[in-house]
């Protein structure tokens, strides 16, 4: 070794001695065998890291698998309902159905609701109470969404620049 590296090595050794000498004087505790009938670990003693790691990994895999399965089931159901795998079509289908239900719930002009006719007629409350007939509502017809046509953009052709 050269003279220049020896003071640097001595400096490193001195720093290591300052850090580690106080720990070097201690003794290592004796190993104790676990008692045969004891099931729970002693306080301060941990379980095997292999079991902890395997349990966490297995739980994470199960959770991710469940999320993927639920997502796939939802996407499959939407694709079957709308006959399309495009999520944009799914949203269009939902908005169309909501609009159709809202239009069906609006009162038609010229017709009166049973509640308004009961409040207008004074004899309605004194007459015999008729059992209302309930019929299934008519389902609105679902039309497929209009798919816009897409034309490709023209490809520009390079031209030679004009020289002055």
Q: What is the mean pLDDT of residues 32-45?
A: 64
In a domain? residue 82: yes
Q: Shortest CA distance to 107 belongs to which of 117, 97, 122?
A: 117
Cα 50 from Cα 57, distance rounded (Å): 10
Q: What is the pLDDT of residue 69?
A: 94
pLDDT at residue 77 tops 80: yes
**65: in domain:** yes
Instruction: Provide the pLDDT confidence category of residue 95 given band limits of 50, 70 and 90.
Output: confident
Count up the domains in the chain and report the number.
Answer: 1
Percent of the chain's residues with pLDDT above 90: 9
H helices within the chain, ranges in order? 5-24, 49-82, 87-105, 114-120
pLDDT in tens, 8-26: 889 999 998 888 887 777 7
Res 163 pLDDT > 80: no
Evaluate whether residue 146 is within a structural domain.
Answer: no
**Does residue 115 register a pLDDT over 70?**
no
When the pLDDT of each residue in the chain is averaged and rounded to a whole number, the result is: 76
What average pLDDT does range 150-161 have in this prediction?
78
On whether residue 84 sits in a domain, the answer given is yes
What range defines the domain where residue 72 resides? 49-103
Choice between 65 and 127, residue whose per-residue pLDDT is larger? 65
Tell me the CA end-to-end span of the chain in Å, nearest whole number: 73
C-alpha atoms less than 13 angstroms from C-alpha of 50 in its C-beta half-sphere: 0
Domain assignment present for 89: yes
Domain assignment present for residue 91? The answer is yes
User: Is 59 domain-assigned?
Assistant: yes
Residues 36, 23: Cα–Cα separation, whole Å: 33
C-alpha 164/C-alpha 162 separation (Å) is 6
Residue 20 lies in a domain: no
């Amino acid at each position: 070794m050269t003279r220049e590296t020896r003071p640097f090595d001595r400096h490193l050794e001195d720093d290591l001695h300052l850090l580690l000498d106080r720990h070097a004087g201690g003794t290592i505790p004796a190993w104790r065998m676990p008692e045969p009938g004891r099931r729970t670990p002693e306080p301060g003693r941990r379980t095997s890291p292999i079991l902890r790691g395997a349990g966490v990994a297995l739980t994470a895999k199960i959770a991710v698998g469940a999320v993927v399965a639920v997502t796939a089931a939802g996407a499959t159901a939407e694709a079957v309902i709308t006959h399309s795998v495009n999520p944009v079509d799914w949203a269009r289908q939902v908005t169309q159905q909501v609009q159709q239900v809202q239009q069906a719930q609006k009162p038609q002009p010229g017709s009166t609701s049973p509640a308004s006719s009961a409040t207008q007629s004074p004899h309605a409350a004194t007459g015999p109470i008729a059992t209302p007939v309930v019929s299934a509502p008519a389902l609105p017809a679902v039309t497929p969404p209009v798919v816009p046509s897409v034309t490709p953009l023209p490809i520009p052709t390079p031209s030679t620049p004009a020289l002055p």
